[in-house]
Each structure stands twice: as structure tokens, then as C-alpha cells.
């Protein structure tokens, strides 16, 4: 029987276990979206994960969603990330950068620009801005001629990620951000080749993935998806058909993996497992669920055919999560008040498990 602690070959990488640290926004970047020494410490503390996927990293200025998030679109960004990847590798870890274009989930107070999206339809809810949470603005609908450039921005960021020492990248195609907006049936009201039919609505995701693979290779490219997820008001009225069309297109690119969130019933997820010929990373608990994923969730999905299991909140307060799971040690709770407050508290201050004397 496959266990969470078995090794796994992911492209060129030999993972010592099947745990993945899921991407989580921490808003600790310096001015201009630069990575910091504290970020190097934070990720290096968690290097026993089989694979780390970073917080979302914007591929261009207009793609920034939240204040305090890091970028990968200038030489300065690349230089700032090198100490992070070096620290993780020095601790024996492996790390992918998650490339995240916020699309309509942004605000001019954050970027100085009107957000863009597939259509002029505002996200549902309040977005983060420098002064706090405020209603999401109506984005500017991208012109058809602009869209390939936004798809290419993922590839440009991927090239810079490799230059910065990352082992690969994960495209953020989930949770209501730009790729997810194009997949949507209510955020995407376009009538050109990027909207309307399922075939058209998957086009942007495929173009972004294709450009990235052409840039750094399929073995260094993954994508995260949240089938049927309703984040930021995104809806998919034809989820099964949508992903049944998308996965073969992605499979043809020989991606390193797809990373699925459990945002829909098991029947659909298992159909996607059967349809996907490569590595499946499973995030077994809906992000708004009552508790972080644990050992039993991992074992269940490994038994259902997942290859790797990602943990989000459990990694925040437990930098040694792999050891805690392996030895059935208590999982410490994270302080939600420190998620986005900045500073080292609730970031670098969670200790490894202290065994009784």
C-alpha cells in the first residue's frame, strides 16, 4: 500500500516523501514585490516537504492581486528570490514557484491600474487593498489581441523562476483568478474565440500552459485547478464537461502534474483521476473547511489514486509537519490573526515539535 512517506519521482526530481506544501498567500514581500530574507527562512524551515509550492507570485504588474505579494517580472525580483531557493536547496528541499495572475481580483489602489479580466464583470466580495478590504471593482475586459500576451506572461515568469533557482513552476488555474476566470461561465461572457463554448473557455488555460512548457519544459510545469469552486463568485455550470475537455489538452503537454482541490464531489474528482495519465497532486480539504487536512485525509486519497498530497494550513504552524505526521505527533493550530498581518510573528515563530525531556 502506498504511504505518505514513500519516495516519488516527479520529472527530474526525487521526492523523499509524498507531501506537498500547498501555496498560501502570506503577504510578506518587500516594497516592489521583492522576496526577503524572512521568506528564505520561512521556506527553508519547511524543506522536509517532498515539494514546496510557494505563495502566488505575480507574472506582471497588472497581475498583482493583494498588497505585499511577490513578483517575478524584473531582474530585481529574480535576484531577490535566489537566496530563497538557495536556502531551501541547502536544507535538502525542492521548490516550485506558483505563478498567479489575479485578473479581476485586484484593485487600482494596489497596482495603480484598473484590473483586467475576460469580461467587465466584477468579482463577488471585498478584495484586499493597502487600506483594507474594499469592494471588488469592475475590471476592464481584455481585447482579443491582448490575451496571448497575458498567457505569455506565465511563461516569462517561469523563465525568471528557473533563473532564480526554482525547480519548476505551478500555474495558478484555480480559486477564481485569471485562468479560472476564463474557464468560468459567468466571469467569462466573451463571444470571441476565448468565450462561449467549453472549447473556447479552456483556450486561455491551454495557451498559458503551452507557452510555459515551451519556455521551461513540461517536466518543470504544473497547474492547480479547483473544479466547480465558487471562489470570488466564479461559477462553472458545466464542470464535468469543462475539465473533461481541458485535461486531454494539458496531458498532451506532458506536464509534471495537475494539482486538484477538493472543490467538487468525489465522483467528478475520481473521473478526473481516471482521465489524467500523469502525476496527480490532491489537496483533500476544501480551503474553507473546518480543519486542516491530516493523515487520514492523505491516506484516503492515496488509496483513491492520488500520487502526492498537498497540505496548506497544517504547514503554517508546523514547519516539521512531515515528522509530525510520520510519528503521529500533535499538529499545532495556526493563529489566523497572523495570516496576513506581516512581520515575523506567525511566520517564523512556529517551532518544531519539542519532545518531552
- What Å distances lie between residue 164 and 80, 211, 227, CA to CA? 8, 19, 31
Question: Is 177 noted as a catalytic residue in this protein?
Answer: yes
What separation in angstroms does the CA of 195 have from each of 118, 150, 188, 357? 8, 16, 6, 62
Residue 254 gets the label, from left (phi > 0), alpha (psi -120 to 50) or beta, of left
Nearest to 77 by CA among 97, 92, 51, 48: 97
Count of CB atoms situated within 10 Å of the CB of 1: 6
Q: Output phi, psi for 184, to 5 deg.
A: -70, 155
Alpha carbon distance 304, 276 (integer Å): 13
Best CA proximity match to 228, nearest among 277, 185, 258, 197: 185
The conformation of residue 59, written as its DSSP 8-state character, comes to S
* Cα→Cα distances 316→52, 86, 145, 158, 321, Å: 12, 21, 41, 25, 9
The answer for residues whose C-beta is within 8 angstroms of residue 74's C-beta and 6 or more apart is none
Candidates 43, 154, 177, 243; catalytic one:
177
Q: Where do the DSSP E strands lie in the chain?
A: 8-10, 13-15, 19-21, 51-57, 95-99, 116-117, 126-129, 132-135, 140-141, 168-172, 221-225, 257-261, 280-283, 308-311
Dihedral (CA of 311, 316, 317, 318) sign: positive
DSSP-assigned beta bridge partners for residue 126? 135
- The distance in angstroms from the start CA to the end CA of the chain is 35
Per DSSP, the three-state class of 335 is coil
Half-sphere exposure of residue 299: CA atoms within 13 angstroms, side-chain side: 6
Q: Point out the residues that are catalytic.
A: 177
Amino acid at each position: 500500500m502506498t504511504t505518505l512517506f514513500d519516495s516519488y519521482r516527479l520529472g527530474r526530481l526525487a521526492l523523499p516523501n509524498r507531501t506537498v506544501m500547498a501555496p498560501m498567500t502570506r503577504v510578506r514581500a518587500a516594497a516592489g514585490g521583492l522576496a526577503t530574507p524572512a521568506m528564505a527562512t520561512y521556506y527553508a524551515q519547511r524543506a522536509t516537504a517532498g515539494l514546496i509550492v510557494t505563495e502566488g507570485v505575480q507574472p506582471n504588474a497588472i497581475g498583482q492581486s493583494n498588497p505585499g505579494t511577490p513578483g517575478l517580472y524584473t531582474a530585481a525580483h529574480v535576484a531577490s528570490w535566489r537566496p530563497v531557493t538557495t536556502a531551501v536547496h541547502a536544507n535538502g528541499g525542492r521548490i516550485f514557484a506558483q505563478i498567479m495572475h489575479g485578473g479581476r481580483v485586484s484593485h487600482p489602489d494596489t497596482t495603480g491600474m484598473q484590473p483586467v479580466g475576460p469580461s467587465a464583470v466584477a468579482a463577488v466580495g471585498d478584495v484586499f487593498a493597502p487600506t483594507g478590504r474594499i469592494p471588488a471593482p469592475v475590471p476592464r475586459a481584455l481585447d482579443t489581441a491582448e490575451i496571448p500576451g497575458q498567457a505569455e506572461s506565465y511563461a516569462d515568469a517561469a523563465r525568471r523562476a528557473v533563473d532564480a533557482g526554482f525547480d519548476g513552476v505551478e500555474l495558478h488555474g484555480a480559486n477564481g483568478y485569471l485562468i479560472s476566470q476564463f474557464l468560468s461561465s459567468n466571469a467569462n461572457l466573451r463571444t470571441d474565440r476565448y468565450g462561449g463554448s467549453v472549447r473556447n473557455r479552456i483556450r486561455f488555460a491551454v495557451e498559458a500552459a503551452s507557452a510555459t512548457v515551451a519556455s521551461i519544459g513540461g517536466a518543470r510545469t504544473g497547474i492547480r485547478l479547483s473544479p466547480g469552486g465558487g471562489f470570488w463568485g466564479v461559477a462553472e455550470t458545466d464542470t464535468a464537461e469543462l475539465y473533461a475537455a481541458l485535461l486531454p489538452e494539458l496531458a498532451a503537454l506532458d506536464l509534471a502534474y495537475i494539482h486538484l482541490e477538493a472543490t467538487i464531489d468525489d465522483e467528478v474528482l475520481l473521473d478526473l483521476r481516471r482521465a489524467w495519465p500523469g502525476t496527480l497532486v490532491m489537496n483533500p480539504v476544501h480551503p474553507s473547511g473546518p480543519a486542516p487536512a491530516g493523515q487520514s485525509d492523505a491516506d484516503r486519497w492515496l488509496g483513491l489514486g492520488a500520487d502526492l498530497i498537498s497540505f496548506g494550513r497544517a504547514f503554517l504552524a508546523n514547519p516539521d509537519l512531515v515528522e509530525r505526521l510520520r510519528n503521529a505527533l500533535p499538529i499545532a493550530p495556526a493563529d489566523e490573526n497572523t495570516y496576513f498581518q506581516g512581520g515575523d510573528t506567525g511566520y517564523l515563530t512556529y517551532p518544531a515539535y519539542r519532545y518531552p525531556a
